[in-house]
Chains A and B, each alone.
Chain A
Amino acid sequence: MKVKTRRVLFAFLLVLVLVAVAAAMMVIGRGHTVYFDNKTLEDYQGQTYKAFEKVVVTVKDEQVAKLAKRDRGMSIWIGQNFKMILEVTREKGGEAEIHEIDLKLPYSVDGIVINLPALLEELPEEAWFSEFVPAVTEEPAEEVPGEGDDFGLGLEGELGLEDGLGDV
Chain B
Amino acid sequence: MTNNVNPLLQMQNIKKDFFGNQVLTDINFTLGEGEVLGLCGENGAGKSTLMKILFGMDVIRETGGYGGDILIDGQKVEFNTPFDALEAGIGMVHQEFSLIPGFSATENILLNREPCKKNIVSEVFGDRLNTLDYKEMDRRSSAAIEKMGVAIDANMVISDMPVGHKQFTEIARELSKDQLKLLILDEPTAVLTEKEAEALLESIRGMAARGISVIFITHRLHEILAVCDKVVVMRDGFVVRDVPAKETSVEDITKWMVGRDVQSAAAGEARSNDGARTIMSIQDLWVDMPGETVRDVSLDIKEGEILGIGGLAGQGKLGIPNGVMGLYEAGGKVTFNGGEIPLNDPRKCLDSSLAFVSEDRREVGLLLDESLEWNVAFPAMQIQEKFLKKLLGGFIKWRDEKGIHKVTQKYIDELQIKCTSSKQKARELSGGNQQKVCLAKAFALEPKFLFVSEPTRGIDVGAKSLVLEALKKFNRENGVTVVMISSELEELRQTCDRIAIVSGGQVAGILPAAASSEEFGLLMVSKVI
Contact = CB atoms under 8 A, between A and B. Distances in A.
B28 to A, nearest CB: 43
Nearest to A4: B126
B124 interface: yes
B125 interface: yes
Contacts of B126: 7
A11 B126 CA distance: 9
A14 interface: yes
In this complex, the interface size class of chain B, counting residues with CB under 8 Å from chain A, is under 10
A10 interface: yes
B515 to A, nearest CB: 67
A31 B123 CA distance: 37
Interface in A79-127: none
B483 to A, nearest CB: 56
Contacts of A6: 123
B130 to A, nearest CB: 12
A101 to B, nearest CB: 46
Contacts of A10: 123-124
Q: How large is the interface on A (under 10, 10 to 19, 20 to 34, 35 or more residues)?
A: under 10
A6 B127 CA distance: 12
A119 B123 CA distance: 55
Interface in B256-276: none
Most buried by B among A6, A7, A13, A14: A7
Nearest to A10: B124
Nearest to B123: A10
A148 B177 CA distance: 56
Contacts of B123: 6-7, 10
Interface in A123-150: none
A64 to B, nearest CB: 44
A33 B126 CA distance: 45
Contacts of A14: 124
Contacts of A7: 123-124, 126
Nearest to A13: B124
B126 to A, nearest CB: 6
A91 B126 CA distance: 71
A10 B129 CA distance: 14
A13 B125 CA distance: 12
Interface in B16-34: none
A14 B120 CA distance: 12
A14 B125 CA distance: 10
Interface of B: 123-126
Interface of A: 6-7, 10-11, 13-14
Given A10-B123, A13-B124, A14-B124, 5 more contacts: A6-B123, A7-B123, A7-B126, A11-B124, A11-B125
A-B pairs, 3 with minimum CB distance: A10-B124, A14-B124, A10-B123
